[in-house]
Structure 1
Amino acid sequence: MLKRVFLALAVALVGFSAVVASRPSAWRLERSITIAAPVDLPFGLVNDFHRWRFWSPWEEIDPKMKRTFDGPFAGPGAIYAWSGNDEAGRGKMTILDSKPYESIHIQLELLEPWPATNIATFTFQPGAEGVTVRWAMEGHNGFLGKAFSLFVDMDGRVGKDFEKGLATIKSLTETEAKNRLEREALLKARAEAEAAARAAQPAPNGPAQATTTTP
């Protein structure tokens, strides 16, 4: 009887391993959003790791998370490393390439709780209704990653984080775009008022001419 149980378990394990091995190793997920704002605003939020704390869906996981920055302040070569609780884990991001107002490529290295290296890509495409921001991530799964994907919908799980982050970028940049227009209108009105005030001032009298008298 015990022999049959072990045999059944062995067959089940072989079958499970075959199913896991048949899973694709490469994976990719993507989310997008259209933002009614100039392209420089969302691009700037992504291109500067110091500003990720304002919109990243993972920044609020651990309020005590330690953050360090290295390399250039923003753009290619900028590095952001973090270390937090069990949920936040430990890892770092490096901007590999940054084309102003077009695309940003980031290498994401997860060190804890499980090692992984993925590539995140942000693209920015201006259009009639605003700029469409696409956030994609791709990588490769080993055996454990393939097994994990059988029980957890990573696209749905991580995709929700992407959607939340993009929605926050939209809210921040559309608000800033509105504030920018209001500031520009205020400065224009002030300049016009000052110009009108100068035009309304009377012209200064010319210098008095000296007169001579004949004795």
Structure 2
Amino acid sequence: MAGTVVVERTARIRATPEQLVPLISRLPEWAQWSPWEDLDPDLTREYSGEPGAVGSAYTWSGNRKAGAGSMRITAVDPDGVGIHLDFTRPFRSSNELRFVLEPEGESTRVTWRMETPQKLYTRFVNLDKLIGGDFEKGLRKLTQVVEAP
């Protein structure tokens, strides 16, 4: 089956791209705003590489809800951040994430986009419904972190 499945959500955040890039590209910062942080209080995390730099990585392993996998920064530029995401549990999948940052006056339009190759399971699982809400929650939390007084 050829093709790609895309899930994306967008939010407008009162911050500049320069303020947002470090929160997205430095993987330890995700603990502040990731929608998955509260799924397992005993989640194990390991970071490698220079935080915020291309090639830096994060691996995690947790309970059934949190699963296990890794993220690696593939691009950091003024227009956004690219991340390669591999899940190993509860199912295997390889995905490309891109946070697109578009300045809009004193705010930034942040689009969180995930592309994954279309597989057999994507015919039966609506990834937009499965993951879209998580992206919305993460963008809300990122907004709170950035816009907090």
| Equivalent position to 1:92, from 63, 67, 70 | 70
Q: Percent identity?
A: 32
1:134 equivalent to 2:134? Answer no
- Superposition TM-score, scaled by structure 2 size: 0.93
Deviations 1:137-185 (A, max 9, x none): 0011322x13432xxx32022111000100111111112xxx5xxxxxx
1:31 equivalent to 2:9? Answer yes
Larger helix share, 1 or 2 = 1
- Superposition TM-score, scaled by structure 1 size: 0.65
State the partner residue of 1:146.
Answer: 122
- What are structure 1's unaligned runs of at least 5 residues? 1-20, 180-215
State the partner residue of 1:168.
Answer: 141
Q: Quote the Cα distance in structure 2 between the aligned partners of 1:76 and 1:156.
A: 30
| Equivalent position to 2:49, from 61, 66, 71 | 71
**RMSD of aligned C-alpha atoms?**
1.5
Deviations 1:47-78 (A, max 9, x none): 11011010000111101000000112222111
- Structure with more relative contact order (C-alpha pairs < 8 Å, separation 6 or more): 2
Larger strand share, 1 or 2 = 2
1:82 equivalent to 2:74? Answer no
Alignment size in residue pairs: 149
Q: Quote the Cα distance in structure 1 between the aligned partners of 2:64 and 2:51.
A: 28
